[in-house]
Amino acid sequence: MIEIKGVYFTYPTGVEALKGVSLTIRDGEFVAIMGSNGAGKTTLVKQFNGLLKPAKGEVLVDGVNTRKVSIASLARKVGFVFQNPDNQLFCENAEEEIAFALKNFGFKEETVKSRVTWALNLLGLTQYRQTSPFMLSGGERKRLALASVLAWEPKVVVLDEPTIGQDFEQKERLRQFIVQLNAQGKTVIIVTHDVEFVADCGPRVVLMAEGKIVADGNAKEILTDKELAFKASIVPPQITQIFLGLADFGLPTDVINVHEAGKILLDFLKEEVKP
């Protein structure tokens, strides 16, 4: 679905944000791009829909070189939800916000109406149909931004820091929603610092540092590697840190989420209390 070949990108300020990045994301994958501030994560995903074009190298989306097509054309395939929803919300009410892109893409009026209603229901925003986006809470604005993207059913959904400002319950709803999207065949890409969220989701993890990819693998492999965590300035999940401290009791050190931890501890306790 997305192929990055030796991409370099430098901002006008002189900051070299990407340094020879190569990456392939397959159709239907769920990928988390992680790393510290300034690692190049957001710069990389903005290449996926042409918001940024490489200074050197190539970006192919569904086989099409991003240099040769418009941002609007790429947006039809790659929906991008910004870290700050205020950067993409501008209409008078939620209904118009969701309808805006649908109309621009040339959907018929009946389809626009049905897709708006579907998206509002999907994200629990029906009661805000006529409400200004800027009267909504931060979490509600994030859901509206996501609804406005999902309405046109892009093949790829990119979410930049989706868990910021969300409480535990909202994060869990988001996790279930993302997993459901991916199960339906969507390619889902998230940019995040939230190791606990990634641990619960279990996607493929691409780890970045100083404009380069330093690791690429499954969540368990990446998040439990202390050397990689130090190199990319990320902190392993809390449950992983606890199990590292329990290693002397014979417990595994590659545990990354509470569900896995609970099963392991129950099995351990059963063995301990055997007569």
Count other C-beta atoms under 10 Å from residue 184's C-beta: 10
* Res 64: pLDDT: 93
* Res 60: pLDDT: 96
* Res 274: pLDDT: 63
Class of the 2-234 domain? alpha beta
Count other C-beta atoms under 10 Å from residue 185's C-beta: 9
* Res 273: pLDDT: 66
Query: The tokens 């995903």 sit on which residue?
Result: 45
DSSP string, 140-190: HHHHHHHHHHHTT--SEEEEESTTTT--HHHHHHHHHHHHHHHHTT-EEEE
Question: Nearest-CA neighbor of 11 among 34, 43, 35, 36?
Answer: 43
d(CA 207, CA 209): 7
Q: Please report, for the chain, the start and end positions of each structural domain, with discontinuous segments joined by +.
A: 2-234, 237-275
* Res 230: pLDDT: 79
Which class for 267: exposed (0-12), middle (13-18), buried (19 or more C-beta within 10 A)? exposed
Q: Which residues contact 105 (CB under 8 A, 6 or more apart)?
A: 76, 152
What does the pLDDT profile of the chain (275 residues) look like in tens digits?
999 999 999 999 999 999 999 999 999 999 999 999 899 999 999 999 999 999 999 999 999 999 999 888 898 899 999 988 888 899 999 999 999 999 999 999 999 999 999 999 988 899 999 999 999 988 889 889 999 999 999 999 999 999 887 788 888 888 888 998 899 899 999 999 999 999 999 999 999 999 999 999 999 999 988 888 778 888 888 888 888 888 888 888 888 888 888 888 888 777 766 66
